[in-house]
Amino acid sequence: MDRTLASQLAQLCPKASKAIIAGIADNAHLLDQAGINTPIRLRHFFARVCIETGGLGSLEENLNYTAKRASEVWPSRFATSAAAKPFANAPVKLAEKVYGGRLGNFKPGDGWAYRGSGLLQNTGRENFEEVEAATGLPVTANPELLRTFPGALRAATIYWTKRNINALADRNDTTSVCKAVNGGTIGLADQRTWLAKAAKVWPDGAVISFPAAPASQAASPAPVQPAPPRQTPAPAAPVPPVAVPEVSTPSPTPSTPKSVGKPTAAVGLLAILGTTIAMRWNEITTWVHSFF
């Protein structure tokens, strides 16, 4: 529990429900996660929360109205107190009359099931669905989750963040904060009264520090994407041998015959003559005998 925050809330609302203070202090990290962590943002957030919860007294809308009060809160539904009389002191019946068929409600019983719930009184099926989409909590099927903790605070911070109300608080635009929360200026005077009280609890320059979220509620780390499987490189295609052009060794150029000298020519001539005589010797000898 954030005991500092618990003490500050008790100072702001001396008659607050101890269970509600404990529920907020136990889940203070949700305020930090929503950026409601500066003095001026805390002042505007809790000023509006105190209006919606009757000074941190209840987590669900009290629909036990008199006819006069019902006609003041919903003048478009009840033009006169007489028109509201059948719904006076009948919470379930009144919820169906003022919320049925709108705010995402379409089934009989939706007006009562999805009545204002949580620290900012999220109202209507569509606002419960918004919380479910953001948190995964099955609040549409189990609306009581917004009337207990941590759902009551989570719903409030989601509503606040989705509508960028921190920016309005930073400008100290009380009227715009009021309109962003309930669609009109109902409770604006009370909101200014609560702001003045909250300024004594969280004055400008106050140091705001919230404990870290419990391990069970810490945001899950983003899933690590598995690395793609390592691919074995395909064997390289064989490199075709580079054709080396065959270099033919040039045949030796025949040398030009040199001039034959006279002695060599004579020897050659005698050899030819000798061969001829040998081949025709028989003819020569026959011719010689015939002559003698």
Q: Cα(13)–Cα(10) distance, rounded to whole angstroms?
A: 5
In 3D space, the residue among 94, 40, 30, 17 whose CA is nearest the CA of residue 62 turns out to be 94
Q: Cα(70)–Cα(189) distance, rounded to whole angstroms?
A: 19
What is each CA distance from 257 to 36, 164, 261, 271, in whole angstroms? 116, 113, 12, 21
Give residues with Cβ within 8 angstroms of 270, minimum separation 6. Answer: none
Q: Indicate the burial class of 92 (C-beta count within 10 angstroms; 0-12, 13-18, 19 or more).
A: middle
Give yes or no for a contact between 160 and 120, defined as CB atoms under 8 angstroms apart. Answer: yes
Q: Which pair of structure tokens corresponds to residue 234?
A: 């395909």
Give yes or no for a contact between 116 and 61, defined as CB atoms under 8 angstroms apart. Answer: yes
Q: Cα(24)–Cα(6) distance, rounded to whole angstroms?
A: 8
In 3D space, the residue among 190, 191, 198 whose CA is nearest the CA of residue 41 turns out to be 198
In 3D space, the residue among 21, 93, 90 whose CA is nearest the CA of residue 55 turns out to be 21
pLDDT of residue 231: 39
pLDDT of residue 218: 53
**Could you tell me the mean pLDDT of each successive run of 10 residues in the chain, 292 residues long?**
93 97 97 97 98 96 96 93 96 96 96 97 96 95 97 96 97 96 90 97 94 67 33 41 40 37 44 52 47 44
What is each CA distance from 81 to 62, 90, 187, in whole angstroms? 18, 15, 20
Q: Indicate the burial class of 178 (C-beta count within 10 angstroms; 0-12, 13-18, 19 or more).
A: buried
pLDDT of residue 84: 97
> What's the whole-model pTM score?
0.72
Give yes or no for a contact between 173 and 37, defined as CB atoms under 8 angstroms apart. Answer: no
Residue tagged 């983003």 (tokens): 222
Q: Domains in the chain, ordered, with CATH? A: 3-60+149-217 (1.10.530)
